[in-house]
Amino acid sequence: MTATAKTNDAGIREFAITRSFDAPRAQIWKAWTDPDHMRWWGPKGMTVPHCEMDLRPGGTYHYCLRTPDGHDMWGKWVFREITAPERLVFVNSFSDAEGGLTRHPLSPTWPLEMLSTLTLTEQAGQTTLTLQWIPENATEAERETFAAGHDSMRQGWTGTLDKLAEHLANA
């Protein structure tokens, strides 16, 4: 797995993480786009007691992550582009239980919206997943918080993708 950061043409630091899986692309696509399979989602130790998905441009994925001590955190994706089984583009945000946008519960200057691009490429039965994140409509303070959080994002995404690997192995 590799995590990288680069500055784009607009001067915003992007975050990307790449990992290869011993699974066909179609299986990984289904794990990301079928609500029955999205129970793997989230950092290690968290469960997904609620998820609803409307997989179409403009549709949403609304979910709840529950911590081991029972604290609920809600999130929402708004799909922009769906090119099965290779590319998924969505805006990722924290939300409330009704789907309204909220601030990060632990970081008031975290960007309200993150543009996320998931790309899946397959070669010889192995699929490489690349996820790119960039703040969307962010203030300078939000961009700075995002740039300072890359190590934490790498750790969180490593755990999340470990859960995906476990899900794929048990599917």
Query: Per residue in 48-99, pLDDT tens?
Result: 999 999 999 999 999 999 999 999 999 999 999 999 999 999 999 999 999 9
CATH of the domain at 132: 3.30.530.20
pLDDT of 6 reads: 72
pLDDT of 4 reads: 73
Instruction: Give domain status of residue 36, yes or no.
Output: yes
Instruction: Give domain status of residue 59, yes or no.
Output: no
pLDDT of 125 reads: 84
pLDDT of 83 reads: 98
CA distance 154 to 131: 11
Instruction: Give domain status of residue 57, yes or no.
Output: no
* pTM of the model as a whole: 0.93
**Centroid of chain to Cα 129:** 12
pLDDT of 11 reads: 75
pLDDT of 9 reads: 72
Query: Per residue in 103-161, pLDDT tens?
Result: 998 899 999 999 999 999 999 989 999 999 999 999 999 999 999 999 999 999 999 99
**Centroid of chain to Cα 170:** 21
Is the pLDDT at 171 greater than 90? The verdict is no
Phi-psi region of 144 (alpha: psi -120 to 50; beta: other; left: phi over 0): alpha
Instruction: Give domain status of residue 31, yes or no.
Output: yes
Is the pLDDT at 3 greater than 90? The verdict is no
pLDDT of 131 reads: 97
Neighbouring residues of 22: CB distance < 8 A, sequence distance ≥ 6: 125, 126
Domain range holding 149?
2-44+81-93+103-170
Instruction: Give domain status of residue 62, yes or no.
Output: no
pLDDT of 12 reads: 78
Instruction: Give domain status of residue 58, yes or no.
Output: no
Instruction: Give domain status of residue 157, yes or no.
Output: yes
CA distance 93 to 102: 7
pLDDT of 18 reads: 97
**Centroid of chain to Cα 39:** 13
CA distance 140 to 12: 9
Domain count, the chain: 1
Among 85, 79, 74, 78, CA closest to 30: 85
Q: What angle do CA 42, 43, 47 make, to 5 degrees?
A: 60
Instruction: Give domain status of residue 51, yes or no.
Output: no
